[in-house]
Amino acid sequence: KAGVTQTPRYLIKTRGQQVTLSCSPISGHRSVSWYQQTPGQGLQFLFEYFSETQRNKGNFPGRFSGRQFSNSRSEMNVSTLELGDSALYLCASSPGVTGKETQYFGPGTRLLVL
């Protein structure tokens, strides 16, 4: 099976702009989770989607949002970008049925906000 894919891999934006990142899970996986990784805060959970519904959400402002489509692909959007949003954004997929399965991560999207 193909692994988790994320597009784009690199992105440069300026403050105030918005950005949309995409994640395609492993075929058959219905859960997609998003994480932000920064040197200061480490890996932090953003949100999880399962069957097109947000099932869990981390402690991030409302500027961070996401959605999941019927084919389980997911997008996350960050509006009104701030310098502190510069990070590696990782998505992970799992079957999602029991919530106890291994999560498989994509290569990440590195976002730089200038």
Partner 1 sequence: SQQGEEDPQALSIQEGENATMNCSYKTSINNLQWYRQNSGRGLVHLILIRSNEREKHSGRLRVTLDTSKKSSSLLITASRAADTASYFCATEVNSGYSTLTFGKGTMLLVSP
Residue 88 is a binding residue for partner 1 (CB under 8 A): yes
Query: d(Cα 109, Cα 91) in Å, to the nearest integer?
Result: 9
Whether the link from the prior residue into 8 is cis, omega within 30° of 0, is yes
Q: Sketch the per residue contact string, 92 through 111, with partner 1: x for CB under 8 A, - otherwise.
A: x-x-x-xxxxxxxxxxx-x-
Residue 47, both tokens: 């949100």
Nearer to partner 1, 81 or 90 (CB): 90
| CA dihedral sign, ordered 3, 25, 73, 114 | negative
Which listed residue (12, 43, 112, 114) binds partner 1 by CB under 8 A? 43
Nearer to partner 1, 16 or 110 (CB): 110
Residue 51 is a binding residue for partner 1 (CB under 8 A): no
Query: d(Cα 101, Cα 91) in Å, to the nearest integer?
Result: 15
Which listed residue (19, 26, 50, 113) binds partner 1 by CB under 8 A? 50
Interface with partner 1 (CB under 8 A), residue total 31
Residue 22 is a binding residue for partner 1 (CB under 8 A): no
Tell me which H or E stretch contains 33. Answer: strand 31-38
